[in-house]
């Protein structure tokens, strides 16, 4: 196997992780920044550190990505498939970041993998795609919406007699913990997705055997790139999540972050399902906001976001398929 192709593919995978970091940094900290629980730079620094820590908490999601979605392709064509899949995901990440749309980096990657695999004639494990990607894509936002509503309702009931000003100060402090939990869950989920791609590249290049544990250097490299991307910040998307869906106060921010983090940890450890942190936190914010009054949520903005979720996988798949075609012609 051409070492140069392996190095390029791993380099592109790490760059995808970097774009994932700055694209999704808003997921962890937008609510804390918008409620002024944390300053933007302090929030980004905290998120970067917790992303780094979260990447080492498990490997179930990485195994799903590397073994459960497409057949591991072989030879130079296989490396071309991985390269095209990553390019498709990166292009979609950059487009949605430019327009401030909180789409899913995870589903951009999965769409890229499926599109490139189909273009390259590699088997797609449709049962794995449906069970691990499509079903969670629909279920997790519904769970986030309902859970966010219920958590916020419980908070309103428990603190119904509390002094509003004191309660807000307390929740502003508590948001430091809930935002850290979100960032930890983001590292747990999203760093592992790239680890799975890098492991596939190593298997194709005969550097690793199928089923081997993830090398430590892969974990460190993916975690560091995700953290660096997170610290760079995705301000365009942060404004969408923190202000455009609903004006959040500290109790609402705490409820949304706690809900999102809980869902991410549950899906990672119990189901090894690579869910979208974007879908979870956005739907949680919507659910929390709906407790105030239904029209407090700017549903027009929410509709555009949800539309972006539906087109992410097919759009990334088309870009990846086109990219594989170009790579195949050049090769």
Q: Angle 214-90-83 (CA atoms, 0-180°, nearest 5)?
A: 60
Q: For residues 44 and 226, what is the distance between their CA atoms, to the nearest angstrom?
A: 12
CB distance 149 to 290 below 8 Å: yes
Q: For residues 215 and 223, what is the distance between their CA atoms, to the nearest angstrom?
A: 13
Q: For residues 228 and 210, what is the distance between their CA atoms, to the nearest angstrom?
A: 30
Could you write out the DSSP letters of every residue in 10-52? HHHHHHHHHHHHHHHHHHHHHHHHHTTSS-HHHHHHHHHHHHH
Q: For residues 51 and 114, what is the distance between their CA atoms, to the nearest angstrom?
A: 27
Q: What local confidence, expressed as pLDDT, does residue 270 receive?
A: 84
Q: What local confidence, expressed as pLDDT, does residue 209 receive?
A: 86
Q: For residues 122 and 56, what is the distance between their CA atoms, to the nearest angstrom?
A: 30
Could you write out the DSSP letters of every residue in 54-73? HTTS--HHHHHHHHSSB---
Could you write out the DSSP letters of every residue in 120-154? HTPPB-HHHHIIIIIHHHHHHHHHHHHHHHHHHHH
Q: What local confidence, expressed as pLDDT, does residue 142 receive?
A: 93
Q: Which two tokens stand for residue 274?
A: 């690579």
> Can you tell me which residue has the tokens 């899906």?
267
Contacts of 172 (CB under 8 A, 6+ apart): 35, 36, 37, 250
Cα R_g (the chain), whole angstroms: 19
Q: How many domains does the chain have?
A: 1
Could you write out the DSSP letters of every residue in 309-323? HHHHHHHHHHHHHHH
Q: For residues 187 and 277, what is the distance between their CA atoms, to the nearest angstrom?
A: 10
Per-residue pLDDT of the chain (331 residues; tens, 9 = 90+): 578 889 999 999 999 999 988 777 666 677 777 778 888 788 888 888 888 898 888 788 888 888 889 998 888 889 999 999 999 999 998 888 887 777 788 899 999 999 999 999 999 999 999 998 899 888 999 999 999 999 999 999 999 999 988 999 999 999 989 989 988 988 888 888 899 999 999 999 989 888 788 999 999 999 899 888 888 766 556 555 555 566 778 999 899 999 999 999 998 888 888 888 878 888 898 899 888 877 766 777 777 778 878 899 999 999 999 999 998 887 6
What are residue 70's DSSP bridge partners? 124
Contacts of 165 (CB under 8 A, 6+ apart): none
Domain enclosing residue 69, as ranges: 3-330
Q: For residues 188 and 210, what is the distance between their CA atoms, to the nearest angstrom?
A: 22
Q: For residues 283 and 71, what is the distance between their CA atoms, to the nearest angstrom?
A: 32
Helices and strands (DSSP H and E) totals, the chain: 14, 0
Q: For residues 273 and 266, what is the distance between their CA atoms, to the nearest angstrom?
A: 9
Q: What is the pTM of this model?
A: 0.88
Half-sphere exposure of 297 (CA within 13 A, CB side): 21
Q: Which two tokens stand for residue 197?
A: 């791609």
What letter would DSSP give residue 295? G
* 331 burial type by CB count under 10 A (0-12 exposed, 13-18 middle, 19+ buried): exposed
């Amino acid at each position: 196997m051409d070492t140069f192709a392996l190095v390029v593919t791993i380099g592109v995978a790490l760059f995808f992780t970097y774009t994932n970091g700055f694209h999704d940094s808003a997921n962890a900290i937008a609510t804390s920044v918008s409620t002024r629980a944390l300053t933007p730079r302090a929030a980004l620094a905290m998120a970067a550190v917790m992303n780094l820590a979260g990447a080492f908490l498990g490997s179930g999601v990485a195994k799903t990505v590397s073994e459960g979605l497409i057949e591991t392709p072989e030879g130079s064509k296989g490396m071309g498939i991985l390269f095209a899949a990553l390019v498709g995901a990166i292009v979609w990440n950059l487009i949605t970041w430019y327009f401030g749309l909180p789409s899913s980096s995870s589903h951009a990657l999965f769409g890229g993998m499926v599109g490139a695999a189909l273009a390259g004639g590699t088997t797609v494990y449709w049962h794995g795609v449906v069970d691990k990607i499509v079903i969670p894509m629909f279920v997790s936002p519904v769970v986030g919406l309902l859970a966010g509503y219920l958590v916020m309702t419980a908070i309103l009931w428990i603190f119904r007699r509390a002094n509003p000003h004191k309660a807000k100060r307390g929740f502003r402090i508590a948001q430091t913990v809930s935002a850290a939990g979100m960032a930890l869950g983001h590292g747990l989920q999203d760093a592992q997705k790239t680890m799975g791609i890098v492991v596939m590249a190593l298997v194709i290049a005969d550097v690793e055997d199928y089923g081997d544990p993830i090398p430590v250097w892969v974990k460190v490299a993916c975690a560091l790139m995700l953290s660096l991307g997170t610290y760079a910040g995705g301000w365009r998307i942060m404004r969408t999540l923190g202000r455009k869906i609903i004006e959040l106060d500290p109790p609402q921010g705490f409820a949304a972050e706690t809900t999102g983090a809980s869902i991410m940890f549950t899906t990672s450890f119990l189901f090894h399902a690579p869910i979208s942190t974007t879908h979870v936190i956005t739907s949680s914010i919507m659910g929390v906001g709906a407790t105030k009054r239904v029209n407090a949520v700017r549903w027009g903005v929410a509709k555009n976001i949800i539309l972006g979720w539906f087109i992410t996988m097919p759009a990334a798949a088309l870009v990846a398929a086109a990219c594989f075609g170009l790579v195949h012609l050049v090769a």
